[in-house]
Chain A
Amino acid sequence: MTETVSTREATMAPPRRRNRMSAQEARTALVFLLPSLLGFIAFMLFPIIASLAISFTNWQLISAPSFVGFANYQRLFTLDPAFYTVLGNTLFFTLEYLVLNIVLSLGLAVWISSLKRGQRWFRVIFFLPTFTPAIAASVVWLLIFTPGGFMDTVFQTLALHVPNLLLDPKLAMQAVIIVTLWANVGYNMVLFNAALDLVPQSYLEAAKIDGASAWDRFWKIRLPLISPTVFFGTVMTAITSLQVFDQIYVVTRGGPGSATATLGFAIYQNGFGNYQMGYASALAWVMFIIIMALTALQFWLQRKWVHYDS
């Protein structure tokens, strides 16, 4: 490593002293970087490569793994009837949750920014659950949803004939979405609220004088100006929601049947329930590719609605 430095510096024909100094600088850099680099290689780079390698084996922990080529991927797409259910559940969850999260967090952000006083206290209230364990939020909501519990009582009192959310295969995912929204909507709310604060007041006043209504001011001035932040929030939320696991593990266990089994849950179940490390790794790579594809799609779509001018 030191050699490459000296040769590169030598071609630029620097004085001797500088040459020695940059070699020393590179050595210092190596010492500074070493702890991070070792950890990065051991717990990030190597696991990523290992994960790909394992996905081409039939490793089951007890027996030695053997190479099976694309058999795991073939099984996924052609043999395993559960895979398309899981994929459908994941995309359904992500789509509905993403839309509701962005609409609600943006709505709350605008509402809070319209207040004359107490903005920061409302911000804190809606932000609170994002700092608490998803598992804790999930057990609390599980008690709310439990048959004969608070939610059922509310439905009964209002004379709504809604079956228990956890027992109905069509509604169970809605329970998961409610928990996830409650637990996470505050983060994007604060993000968007902060962006709204940065919109120059003079723009809004000029529009007001020209007779633009609050509605127009939102759609034509504020939303376009904060659209890069909304885009950022949408991309990050999509990436995390494709991985949803904690809430499902506690609230529904993927049930009833497999109505709420998502990719994250299926990876855990195959890997640590059935010890099929190879198959679970193949599922994980499918998830990673979906994350990349969805993110690429969003970057492509952003040209239609995100405004980046200063």
Chain B
Amino acid sequence: MTANALPTAAARPRRKQKNAGLKLFLDILNHGALTLVALAFLFPFFWMVSNAVRSDAEVLAVPPRLLPTEWQWENFAEAWLRLPFGRFFLNSAIVAGGVTAITIVVSALAAYAFARLRFPGRDSIFVAYLGTLMIPQVMLVIPLFLIVNQLGWVNTYQGMILPMAFSSFGAFLLRQFFLSIPRELEEAALIDGASRLRILVSIIIPLSLPAIGLLALFTFIGQWNNFLWPLVVVNGMEYATLPLGLSMFQTEQGTSWNYIMAGAALSMLPGLVLAVILQQVIYKGITVGAGFGGR
């Protein structure tokens, strides 16, 4: 490229061209090597699907074959209906959706109070919220189980949803975002006599959709993938979520591996789809984390 721009300097462009060739070669090599690493990284996904669509006898054949001799796509339907991964899928959706909905409403209300309203004890309550961010879940599980057991909520949706729906993280995240919205935007509405709830719903929330969406996404995925709480508070298949259902079949003698792999694939599907579709949103969200960690 530079060779045309500078025709007088005859010797230098040629060397530059050679360098450019070498650079291009190294660049292709670089991409190729990372592509190989990425393919190896994706292998477990391939292995899961490849074993989901073969016969059970072939899953345990030694040595294992890379691809099935006969592709049995009907295994997915079988796992969905008979095992019943369809039921687990529904339970996971109800629990993750329920926790997400409650978290968003409750966190937005609390965050607005923390960000905009003056009341006694505001800062100490907020510090108490922050202080619990580091509490390990496994420590809470024992007293939470005793509470839920006392309330007679074992094997119920409310028992699965409510104890997970009040994380202080949501209030913290939204407060930080609300603080970045200029106050002037609500002052006019306040003078006109609009209520605080009205202001939250019609001014603050529409401006905060990126933060609220991010909170919803991470809450939903976190609950969809949650294992420990369903394991403790559910027994039997009726209320089992996908991770719990998977672990139940895995420990049962004689459950077929091909169906377990089909169930694993079904449980991964929503997360994989969201990760691909929302990649830019996730990247931006984690970038906020990167900036936040730098503070």
Q: A25-B118, A37-B125, A54-B143 are in contact. Are A135 and B112 (CB under 8 A)?
A: no
Cross-chain contact A26 with B250 (CB below 8 angstroms): no
Interface residues on A, range: 35 or more
Whether a CB of chain A sits under 8 angstroms from the CB of B237 is no
Cross-chain contact B228 with A231 (CB below 8 angstroms): no
Cross-chain contact B272 with A264 (CB below 8 angstroms): no
Cross-chain contact A288 with B136 (CB below 8 angstroms): yes
Cross-chain contact A243 with B137 (CB below 8 angstroms): yes
Q: A125-B42, A191-B289, A291-B136 are in contact. Are A229 and B294 (CB under 8 A)?
A: yes
Cross-chain contact A111 with B134 (CB below 8 angstroms): no
Q: State the majority secondary structure of interface residues on B.
A: helix
Contact with A along B96-122 (1 / 0, CB 8 A): 000000000111011011100111111
Q: Of residues A54, A129, A143, which shows the largest number of chain B Cβ atoms within 10 Å of its Cβ? A: A143
Residues of B within 8 A of A (CB): 27, 30-31, 34, 38, 41-42, 44-45, 47-48, 51, 59-60, 62-64, 105-107, 109-110, 112-114, 117-122, 125, 128-129, 132, 134-147, 162-166, 168, 171, 196, 221, 224-225, 227-228, 231-232, 242-244, 246-247, 250, 257, 260-261, 264-265, 267-268, 271-272, 274-276, 279-280, 282-283, 286-287, 289-295
How far apart are A258's CB and chain B's nearest CB, in angstroms?
18
A182 to B43, CA, bound (A): 11
- 19 sampled A-B residue pairs with Cβ under 8 A: A8-B120, A29-B113, A36-B109, A47-B147, A50-B147, A54-B143, A54-B146, A117-B31, A118-B31, A128-B276, A131-B272, A133-B267, A139-B260, A140-B261, A143-B51, A195-B293, A232-B294, A284-B136, A291-B136
Interface-lining segment among A38-46, A66-74, A167-175, A216-224: A38-46
Q: Provide the residues of chain A in CB contact with B166, threshold 8 Å.
A: 36, 39-40, 42-44
Whether a CB of chain B sits under 8 angstroms from the CB of A83 is no
A111 to B225, CA, bound (A): 29
Q: A33-B125, A120-B283, A232-B293 are in contact. Are A44 and B119 (CB under 8 A)?
A: no
Cross-chain contact A139 with B119 (CB below 8 angstroms): no
Residues of A within 8 A of B (CB): 1, 4-5, 8, 22, 25-26, 28-30, 32-33, 35-37, 39-40, 42-48, 50-51, 54, 111-112, 114-118, 120, 122-137, 139-144, 148-150, 153, 156, 182, 187, 190-192, 194-195, 197-198, 228-229, 231-233, 239, 242-243, 245-246, 249-250, 264, 267-268, 271-272, 277, 280-281, 284-285, 287-288, 291-292, 295, 308
* Extra A-B contacts (9), CB below 8 Å, given A123-B283, A136-B265: A29-B113, A36-B171, A46-B143, A124-B279, A131-B221, A134-B227, A143-B257, A228-B295, A272-B232
